[in-house]
Structure 1
Amino acid sequence: MVPLVERDVRIAYSPCPNDTFVFHAWAHGLVPDAPGLDVTFADIDITNGMAERGELDVLKVSYAVLPWVLDEYALLPCGGALGRGCGPLVLTREPGVDLAGRTVAVPSERSTAYLLFRLWAADVVPGGVGKVVVLPFHEIMPAVRDGRVDAGLVIHEARFTYQEYGLHRLADMGEHWETTTGHPIPLGAIIAKRSLGEPMLRRLAASARASVRMAWASPEASRPYVQAHAQELDPSVASRHIDLYVNPFTEALGPEGYAAVEALLTRASAQNLVPPVPPEALRFP
């Protein structure tokens, strides 16, 4: 392997507006003293798989995949996505559907959305849901609309567009999480290979934080990059997406952010959804 000092950092993140907004300055060489980036665009389910296989130096992944990758990757304390009022939704074709024994489409079984859904279902669906099927994110709302599944778990911009499919919001996983725990919702994490060494990990974290701050300082600068990778989204929807998912937790997880992540993984482990994670495994070097 070519040493990192002799090549760009190999990074993968999604084409979603929040990621392109956050990484615009860094990806375009605008962050002083930051290493160059070799960017791969991939949806979160793909990057989760990359992390489990140990591919690339830095990845945007779901917090739900951390229990399987923390031996090889460190959680960076910035650049990711946590928040309030931004949780996944369960959508149905008719209002008030009882999901007991029903088929539900999800975008991944290694996602925070899935963990939040299962924790919600354990609390409010007596007997549990029926079959869970994994579909690509963009196929879930059409599948619900067309009656191929009874409900769908959706994330990101679907919060703003599901009415266009004639669908109804059955439940908000984020509302349930915040009500029952008081914590913000852990969504996407930035991880980097521990083998890069502590000095490089700290440099990567500093670069991500600087890129976030530059994005906030000059939001118009990133707009062409954001829209180039979100051509199917109206610019106003892209802006709402950014406003929802890029917040102070993106700049720094902080004690509140770490507590939220620990709570998610602890509760999911208690339901046998993920392996247990020692809290110290989450701490940044």
Structure 2
Amino acid sequence: MTGEQQQRQPLQIAYSPCPNDTFVFDALAHDRVPGAPALDVTFADIDITNGMAERGEFDVLKVSYAVLPYVLGEYALLPCGGALGRGCGPLVLTREAGVDLTGRTVAVPSEKSTAYLLFRLWAADTLPGGVGEIVVMPFHEIMPAVRDGKVDAGLVIHEARFTYQNYGLHKLADMGEHWEATTGLPIPLGAIIAKRSLGARQLKLLADSIRTSVQAAWDDPEASRAYVMEHAQEMDPTVADQHIGLYVNKFTADLGEDGYAAVRGLLTRAAAEGLVLPLGSEALTFP
């Protein structure tokens, strides 16, 4: 297929139905960005898109930064469209307050997620004896498992930081607070990647188009509201707006120096702990 034919074909893209992603991609997905490549959109949660990236499926994907070391041979990290933030890190929850997790069993939603990497880095800094068994289970089962004593602790994300007290649980530690306190950097959450085979010209056009789509959403938030709420899974509009306000920020428009430092810092530290493959020196370079 020639480059010209590639440009005529819609790009196969998968991102989550979460408000931040639909807000970011609304204008682009609805052909309101002049000259932008057409998109064929599939909605999938990030644990699904991580696997798609490892299998080389789709042209463009929203993935966890934790999966980058395994996919950057085939995909390039785009400098925009993703999610980095502050004050939004995962939590470690326990049934009793002040538990020492040394040698204890911890439930996690995935071992290929930023949350898991942040947890292991926190444990390396604060638990010289190390944690015990790691149990992967569906996210919605973690807090009940901790409450019922099936595991000693659970690693939770997103809305669980607002609901864990309903389960009678205690916050042992905030992984985001630890990361920000020790690095001063934002928390790398979700990345936008695109196949290198699209070529430098198409990749740059895609990145410019995403930036334009983000700016259009900021300029006229109401224009994206129908798309956001259609996929927000009965989320209250006020909560959706708070979600967007937290995860769509200056790093979404451009990673910038601090954004790239956060990504490289997370993955370099994680590689030093043997949690991910080492990054090549040029792995994060954008064409």
TM-score, structure 1 normalization:
0.94
Identity %: 77
Does 1:243 pair with 2:238?
A: no
Matches within 5 A, 1:1-285: 3-285=5-287
Q: List alignment gaps of at least 5 residues for structure 2.
A: none
Amino acid paired to 1:163 = Q
**Could you tell which deviates more after superposition, 251-260 or 31-40?**
31-40
Q: List alignment gaps of at least 5 residues for structure 1.
A: none
- Residues 7 and 202 in structure 2, CA contact (< 8 A), matched pair in contact too: no
Coordinate RMSD, CA, aligned: 1.7
* CA 1:220–1:168: 2 relative to 1, 3 Å: farther
Query: When the two structures are aligned, how many residues end up with a matched partner?
Result: 285
Amino acid paired to 1:68 = Y
Aligned counterparts of 1:89 and 1:262: Cα–Cα separation in 2: 22
**Could you tell which deviates more after superposition, 55-64 or 36-45?**
36-45
* CA 1:101–1:255: 2 relative to 1, 3 Å: same
Aligned counterparts of 1:19 and 1:97: Cα–Cα separation in 2: 36
- Per-residue CA deviation, residues 184-234 of structure 1 (Å, 9 max, x unaligned), is 111111000000000000011011111111111111222222222222433
Aligned counterparts of 2:172 and 2:17: Cα–Cα separation in 1: 28
Aligned counterparts of 2:11 and 2:41: Cα–Cα separation in 1: 8
Amino acid paired to 1:133 = V
Residue 83 of structure 1 deviates from its aligned partner by: 1.5
- Residues 12 and 58 in structure 1, CA contact (< 8 A), matched pair in contact too: yes
Amino acid paired to 1:247 = N
Aligned counterparts of 1:71 and 1:88: Cα–Cα separation in 2: 28
* CA 1:5–1:208: 2 relative to 1, 3 Å: same
Aligned counterparts of 2:72 and 2:278: Cα–Cα separation in 1: 11
TM-score, structure 2 normalization:
0.94
Aligned counterparts of 1:36 and 1:149: Cα–Cα separation in 2: 47
* CA 1:40–1:232: 2 relative to 1, 3 Å: same
- Residues 160 and 237 in structure 1, CA contact (< 8 A), matched pair in contact too: no
- Residues 115 and 157 in structure 2, CA contact (< 8 A), matched pair in contact too: yes
- Per-residue CA deviation, residues 237-278 of structure 1 (Å, 9 max, x unaligned), is 222211111110000001111111111111111101111112
Amino acid paired to 2:87 = G
Amino acid paired to 1:221 = A
